[in-house]
């Protein structure tokens, strides 16, 4: 069932920046991430859904009804802003209770809900503190708690974990996934961190310069980036110049099927984990430059006639390798794009 439908949304600021022709359907209980570099339009889309920006054209439907005419507080959405704006003159309790009081909940209901949500964001007992007495990451978590309490039909989160340290960030992602699984909350989550997007999303929408480049599951985006932009943006990737001719793409002496039916100069993209190392007379010649053990795998940098490449190999398999060694390399999987 479609919970949120964004139809042909266009919003241009006076400067000419903004977004255009955005079409997104979000299913009930789905967590969809808007991912892209700074300035690509993520916040613009999110604010339009929440009612904080008026689109130039297009429509936004929640549970089948257009919400365009509704002010933010009348929409069935709750938004956590980039830079979490808590009310500085109110303590945590009152920041959280505000929305519930408007809904005429009883004091005991409110107290209980606040206690539960503070446990959830790991800040139990912080009711009496003022935002100025909390760190950036703690304020961010209170802002997330405040949005949860409103039990919206669609929860909008604009980089909600950006001020958290790596460990807490990781934990909060897991929490968010758990909350989503147990409540079936529909969420639109904004981040410019591709790793974060890959780890929490049901679907990722990759944006670039106000447009959608690709919309797919994390797995699909990782395995089949549709454009060179997506290939550059998601995960680690090696890029090599190649030539397409007829049914083949050539990279030096290596040959691959021309699945995209390209012609002329092409960019061949290879994931580090798709590079295999063999004997010097097999595949493309390479020299091992450096071997770095990174936990359960090793990152091997290679000098080749196509430039420097990075390979990820199981730690065990690099035991007998050494810098300066001549090897051959092959690619178990390649992606090909028309060169930019
Ligand atoms: N009020 C505004 N007036 C004019 N231009 C704006 C305004 N708000 C945003 N922009 C421009 O619109 C574009 C999209 O901005 P937006 O805030 O949506 O980007 P974003 O993807 O959220 O970026 P970030 O990751 O930095 O938060 C940018 O080029 C930005 O400079
Ligand atoms: Mg933004």
**pLDDT digits 0-9 by tens, 290-336:** 999 998 899 999 999 999 999 999 999 999 999 999 999 999 999 99
Please count the other Cβ atoms lying within 10 Å of the Cβ belonging to residue 83: 13
In angstroms, the CA 334 to CA 340 distance is 17
> What are the two backbone dihedrals, phi and then psi, of residue 102, each rounded to the nearest 5 degrees?
-60, -35
Q: What is the mean pLDDT of residues 126-134?
A: 95
- Residues with CB under 6 Å of ligand 1 are 13, 15, 17-18, 36, 38-44, 82, 192
What is the position in ligand 1's atom list of the atom closest to the CA of 34? 21
In angstroms, the CA 335 to CA 258 distance is 10
Query: For residue 191, what is the domain's CATH number?
Result: 3.40.50.300
Q: Kindly tell me if the per-residue pLDDT of 194 is higher than 80.
A: yes
Domain of 309, in residue numbers = 236-338
Give the domain-ending residue among 230, 261, 278.
230
pLDDT, one tens digit per residue, over 222-250 is 999 999 999 999 999 999 999 999 999 99
Place of tokens 């979490």: 84
Output the CA 37–ligand 2 centroid distance in Å: 9
Output the CA 82–ligand 2 centroid distance in Å: 6
CB 27, CB 60: distance < 8 Å: no
What is the position in ligand 1's atom list of the atom closest to the CA of 36? 21
Mean pLDDT of the chain: 94
* Number of domains the chain is built from: 2
Q: What is the mean pLDDT of residues 104-118?
A: 94
Same domain for 113 and 15: yes
Same domain for 272 and 214: no
User: Where does the pLDDT of residue 6 fall: very low under 50, low under 70, confident under 90, or very high at 90 and above?
Assistant: very high
- Of the listed ranges 182-191, 202-211, 226-235, 324-333, the least confidently predicted one is 182-191
Same domain for 172 and 270: no
Same domain for 195 and 99: yes
Q: Output the residue whose Cα is nearest ligand 1's atom 6.
A: 13
In angstroms, the CA 298 to CA 288 distance is 13
What is the position in ligand 1's atom list of the atom closest to the CA of 14? 4
User: Where does the pLDDT of residue 22 fall: very low under 50, low under 70, confident under 90, or very high at 90 and above?
Assistant: very high
Give the domain-ending residue among 211, 230, 249.
230
Q: What is the mean pLDDT of residues 27-47?
A: 96
Output the CA 34–ligand 2 centroid distance in Å: 10
Same domain for 61 and 95: yes
Output the CA 266–ligand 1 centroid distance in Å: 33
Q: Which residues contact 151 (CB under 8 A, 6 or more apart)?
A: none
Same domain for 35 and 86: yes
Q: Kindly tell me if the per-residue pLDDT of 122 is higher than 90.
A: no
pLDDT of residue 238: 98
pLDDT of residue 171: 85
pLDDT, one tens digit per residue, over 43-91 is 999 999 999 999 999 999 999 999 999 999 999 999 998 877 899 999 9
Query: For residue 298, what is the domain's CATH number?
Result: 2.40.50.100
pLDDT, one tens digit per residue, over 254-270 is 999 999 999 999 999 99
SS3 237: coil
Q: Which of 18, 34, 46, 207 to mutate to test the pocket of ligand 1 (most atoms within 8 A of CB)?
A: 18
Same domain for 303 and 224: no
Put the strands of the sheet holding 284-294 in their side by side order. Answer: 275-278, 326-331, 284-294, 297-304, 307-314
Q: 209 exposed, middle or buried (CB, 10 Å; 0-12, 13-18, 19+)?
A: middle
Q: Which of 11, 12, 14, 15 to mutate to test the pocket of ligand 1 (most atoms within 8 A of CB)?
A: 15
What is the position in ligand 1's atom list of the atom closest to the CA of 192? 25
Output the CA 38–ligand 2 centroid distance in Å: 7
In angstroms, the CA 47 to CA 60 distance is 12
What is the position in ligand 1's atom list of the atom closest to the CA of 17? 12
Q: Which of 33, 40, 46 to mutate to test the pocket of ligand 1 (most atoms within 8 A of CB)?
A: 40
Element (H, E) at 264: strand 264-270
Give the domain-ending residue among 215, 230, 245.
230
Same domain for 163 and 285: no
Rg value, the chain, Cα: 24
Query: Measuring CA to CA, which residue among 62, 66, 40, 67 is closest to residue 51?
Result: 67
Same domain for 225 and 243: no
Same domain for 295 and 222: no
Same domain for 174 and 221: yes
Q: Output the residue whose Cα is nearest ligand 1's atom 27.
A: 38
Same domain for 6 and 153: yes
């Amino acid at each position: 069932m479609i919970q949120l439908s964004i139809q042909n949304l266009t919003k241009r600021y006076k400067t000419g920046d903004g977004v255009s022709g955005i079409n997104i359907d979000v299913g009930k209980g789905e967590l969809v991430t808007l991912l892209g570099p700074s300035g690509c339009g993520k916040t613009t889309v999110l604010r339009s859904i929440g009612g904080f920006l008026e689109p130039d054209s297009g429509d936004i439907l929640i549970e089948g009804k257009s919400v365009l005419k509704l002010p933010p507080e009348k929409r069935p959405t709750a938004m956590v802003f980039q830079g979490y704006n808590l009310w500085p003159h109110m303590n945590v309790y009152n920041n959280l209770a505000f929305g519930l009081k408007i809904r005429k909940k009883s004091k005991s209901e409110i107290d209980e809900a606040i206690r539960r949500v503070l446990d959830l964001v790991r800040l139990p007992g912080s009711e009496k503190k003022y935002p100025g007495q909390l760190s950036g990451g703690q304020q961010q978590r209170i802002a997330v708690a405040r949005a949860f309490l409103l039990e919206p039909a669609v929860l909008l989160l604009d980089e909600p974990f950006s001020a958290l340290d790596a460990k807490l960030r990781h934990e909060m992602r897991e929490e968010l996934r758990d909350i989503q699984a147990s409540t079936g909350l529909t969420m639109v989550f904004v981040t410019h961190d591709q790793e974060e997007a890959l780890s929490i999303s049901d679907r990722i929408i990759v944006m670039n310069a106000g447009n959608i480049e690709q919309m797919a599951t994390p797995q699909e985006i990782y395995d089949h980036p549709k454009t060179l932009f997506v290939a550059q943006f998601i995960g680690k990737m090696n890029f090599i110049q190649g030539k397409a001719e007829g049914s083949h793409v050539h990279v030096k002496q290596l040959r691959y099927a021309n699945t995209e039916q390209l012609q002329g100069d092409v960019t061949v993209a290879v994931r580090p984990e798709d590079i295999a190392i063999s004997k010097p007379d097999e595949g493309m010649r390479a020299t091992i430059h450096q071997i770095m053990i990174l936990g359960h795998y090793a990152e091997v940098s290679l000098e080749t006639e196509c430039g420097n490449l990075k390979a990820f190999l199981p730690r065990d398999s690099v035991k007998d390798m050494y810098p300066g060694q001549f090897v051959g390399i092959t690619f178990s999987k390649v992606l090909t794009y028309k060169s930019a």
